[in-house]
Amino acid sequence: MKKNLFLFVMATAASTMIIFNGCKKATLPEVLTAEVTGVTLTTAISGGEVTNDGRDDIIEKGVCWNIAGEPTVADSKTTNGVGTESFVSNISGLQKGSVYYVRAYATNSVGTAYGEEIVFGTKMDDVDGNQYGTIKIGTQLWMAENLKTTKYNDNSQIPNVTSNTAWIALTTHAYCWANNDMATYKPLYGALYNWYAVNSAKLCPTGWKVASDDDFKALEIALGMTQAQAGATEWRGTDQGKQMKNITGWSTGQNGTNSSGFTAVPAGYRAYATGISEGIGILTYWWTSTQQDASIAVYRRVDGNNDKVYRSGTYKRAGKSVRCVKN
């Protein structure tokens, strides 16, 4: 039913007089985009709510998406009926490990209006079948979880070294679980790798790479560090570590805001000198793919009791977590 005609009827003894109050012009509708949830490798869920129909019937509504930004109904879209009722949209046909932009739309006779744009990344997987959330930070797409693969991306096995004595003597690639306890620590923290595994160039899924020192600098700058701070060593920045830490899982009073979506967890590390798992629940390290010399490679560290991010180098025999970034 059209909603732009208003009239009043006045009855008198002599006659019935119809007085027109004028035609109010229809306008574009207004619509809100629902949060993106249920993200998988190739699907996601969103939707929206029409908050103003523009004094006209809503003849189509749904969500639209693309990989470039500011999607329109000329891009991929769902069609979720008519009217002003809120709606849920099932998004499909996505590519795994990719950034997408989505917004709700609503159409009346005047035209199509759009809700706010939401950016999300689809999940990615490795050759073991593990799936990982992803997050766009600045211009980069990062894994939002630590790597947990036991195989390289060519399906060859990475040696699982459990002996502390054997671990500290290694100059070849290896991985382990914290305290050699896969059942407990794989789902919480992922695996720990020595730098020789990192240097294989096959550790991350195809199309992804172990983050370099420069990749971490770009992330830190996107979170508010200056170029000079990012290039410094030891504790740097202001609250970038707090932005990276998950909102749960750290000691009381030491959780982060996770405003970055990086979701850092206190995975600890495996010591290069003893082979013992240390720091679980307290701090975390990530290798970079950048080496300083034949024995030392660069890492990042975040602690529960510090809001900054630590940058330095250590012996390649150490066991540390790994984050992948898309090439």
| pLDDT tens digits, one per residue of 85-105 | 999 999 999 999 999 999 999
pLDDT value at 179 more than 60: yes
* E strand or H helix at 193: strand 192-193
Question: For the whole model, what pTM was predicted?
Answer: 0.90
pLDDT band, residue 12 (cuts 50/70/90): very low
Report all structural domains of the chain as residue ranges with CATH numbers, in order of start. Answer: 30-121 (2.60.40.10), 124-326 (no CATH)
| pLDDT tens digits, one per residue of 131-161 | 999 999 999 999 999 999 999 999 999 999 9
Kindly state the average pLDDT of the residues 10-32: 63
Kindly state the average pLDDT of the residues 220-228: 98
User: What per-residue confidence (pLDDT) applies to 4?
Assistant: 45
Q: Which residues of 74-94 are buried (b: 16+ CB within 10 A; e: fewer)?
A: eebbbebeeebeebebebeeb
Kindly state the average pLDDT of the residues 176-187: 98
User: What per-residue confidence (pLDDT) applies to 158?
Assistant: 98
pLDDT band, residue 235 (cuts 50/70/90): very high
Instruction: Decide which of 28 and 5 is more confident.
Output: 28
DSSP 21-85: EEEPPP---EEEEPPPB---SS-EEEEEEEEE-TTS---EEEEEEESSSS--TTSEE----SSSS
Q: Tell which residue, 145, 130, 220, has the closest CA to residue 189.
A: 145
Cβ(291)–Cβ(210) under 8 Å? no
User: What per-residue confidence (pLDDT) applies to 10?
Assistant: 39
Kindly state the average pLDDT of the residues 275-280: 98
| Token pair 């701090």: residue | 283
Distance (Å, whole) CA 139 – CA 160: 34
* Least confident segment among 21-30, 136-145, 220-229: 21-30
DSSP 233-259: -EEESSSHHHHHB-SSSSSTT-----T
Q: How many helices, marked H, and strands, marked E, lie in the chain?
A: 6, 24
- The residues, ordered by sequence, that sit 6+ positions from 218 with a Cβ below 8 Å of its Cβ are 138, 139, 140
User: What per-residue confidence (pLDDT) applies to 23?
Assistant: 61
Q: Which long-range contacts (CB under 8 A, 24 or more apart) does 278-283 make?
A: 280/178, 280/179, 280/185, 280/189, 281/250, 281/251, 282/251
Distance (Å, whole) CA 229 – CA 309: 10
Q: Tell which residue, 160, 117, 112, 116, has the closest CA to residue 136.
A: 117
User: What per-residue confidence (pLDDT) applies to 312?
Assistant: 98
| Token pair 């992948």: residue | 324
Kindly state the average pLDDT of the residues 269-298: 98
User: What per-residue confidence (pLDDT) applies to 88?
Assistant: 98
Kindly state the average pLDDT of the residues 234-252: 98
pLDDT band, residue 177 (cuts 50/70/90): very high
pLDDT value at 260 more than 80: yes
| pLDDT tens digits, one per residue of 48-98 | 999 999 999 999 999 999 999 999 999 999 999 999 999 999 999 999 999
User: What per-residue confidence (pLDDT) applies to 24?
Assistant: 74
